[in-house]
Structure 1
Amino acid sequence: MAWSEHTDAAPQPTGYLFAASVQGFWHYITQGSAIDCTANGVPADIAVMLRGCRK
Structure 2
Amino acid sequence: MYLGCSSICFSFISQAWAASIAALDRVATPDDIGGVGACLCSDDSKWVTGQRIEVSGGALVF
Tell me the TM-score normalised to structure 1 length.
Answer: 0.24
Q: So what's the TM-score if we normalise by structure 2?
A: 0.23
Which is bigger in relative contact order (C-alpha 8 A, separation at least 6)?
2
Q: Name whichever structure is richer in strand by fraction.
A: 1
Which one has a larger percent helix, Structure 1 or Structure 2?
2
